[in-house]
Amino acid sequence: MIIKINRTNNGKSFIEELETQLENKKTVLEGLQFIKEKKDSTLTFRCGCESGVCGSCAVKVNGVERLACKTKLNEGDFIEPLSYTAVLRDLVVDLEHEQKVLNKSHSFLHQYQESEITNEDEKKIDRQSNCILCQSCYSSCPVLEVNKDFLGPYALTRALRYVNDKREGDEKSIINNIQLNGVWDCTLCGNCTLVCPQFIDPKSDIMNLRMKSVQAGYEDPTLQNFATIGNEFDTGFDPTGGFNPSGGFDPSGGFNPNSF
Ligand code: SF4
Ligand code: SF4
Ligand code: FES
């Protein structure tokens, strides 16, 4: 079985075709281990638990973020490192980046308050607490392509986890810290939700955080831009309560371009 790997060594990237000589039903991780043991000991990748628990083996397989230890290997597969994080070597990306993103989002406990935690309280944070920080969602997010400062899905999911935690006495600080390059920059495309191996739904978590931001007094900055555009451009809408026919609409049956 021939597979292709996007390798990086000393800052130079190249695509290499390698043969695994493995029968069917093996995982991508087993393919990588076979190559390292039998073909090329310099091939570098991360793995820990080998059972989908630690998140360290996340890579892109044919362009989609997957856990190497939970993904079946197929003829011709193309394996690459995750996107938007510096590649240290071959399939290994810089984990310090993850720590920086989490620090920037302030998605951690700020002010511990003693509380009795019921089963219902636990359910509110259970799903988000299952994040294994594999970074698959971050790598799949199209916003990072144009805005490297965007906090990204796992940091925002983690922010919601602490906002919803009864033991957090200062959830306002977390909400404050996810306004800039945070909740309002997401396009709600849902890629992050599709690739998460833990079935977490960062897209819904971000929508939830937007609602909590509005409740905390923030508003969607794109709505402010829309209001500004409305002042410069005659849309025909009369804010006093009706439609202004001289504002672009021709009651004789057409559109009046002279009003612009
Ligand atoms: S839903 Fe938002 S955070 Fe998730 S991948 Fe799309 S843009 Fe990124
Ligand atoms: S939210 Fe899912 S995809 Fe994102 S880091 Fe956590 S476990 Fe991985
Ligand atoms: S090696 Fe731990 S999740 Fe794959």
Question: 92 pairs with which residues across the strands?
Answer: 89
User: What's the average pLDDT block by block, 10 residues per block, for the chain (260 residues)?
Assistant: 95 93 88 95 97 97 98 96 97 94 91 93 96 97 97 97 95 95 97 98 98 95 68 54 48 45
- pLDDT, residue 238, reads 55
Nearest CA to ligand 1 atom 2: 186
Nearest CA to ligand 2 atom 2: 196
Q: Would the CB of 86 count as within 6 Å of ligand 1?
A: no
DSSP structure class, residue 74? -
Collapsing DSSP states into helix, strand and coil, what is residue 5? strand
Residue 141 CA to ligand 1 center (angstroms) comes to: 5
- Rounded to 5°, the CA angle 33-20-64 comes to 75
Q: Which of 128, 136, 138 is the best mutation target for the ligand 2 pocket, counting ligand atoms within 8 Å of the beta carbon and taking the most? A: 136
Q: Would the CB of 69 count as within 6 Å of ligand 3?
A: yes
Q: Which two tokens stand for residue 159?
A: 């922010």
Domains and CATH numbers, the chain: 2-93 (3.10.20.30), 96-215 (1.10.1060.10), 221-259 (no CATH)
Question: 60 pairs with which residues across the strands?
Answer: 65, 80
Global pTM?
Answer: 0.86
- pLDDT, residue 23, reads 76
- pLDDT, residue 229, reads 57
Q: Would the CB of 190 count as within 6 Å of ligand 1?
A: yes
Q: Which of 102, 130, 135 is the best mutation target for the ligand 2 pocket, counting ligand atoms within 8 Å of the beta carbon and taking the most? A: 135
Q: Would the CB of 157 count as within 6 Å of ligand 2?
A: yes
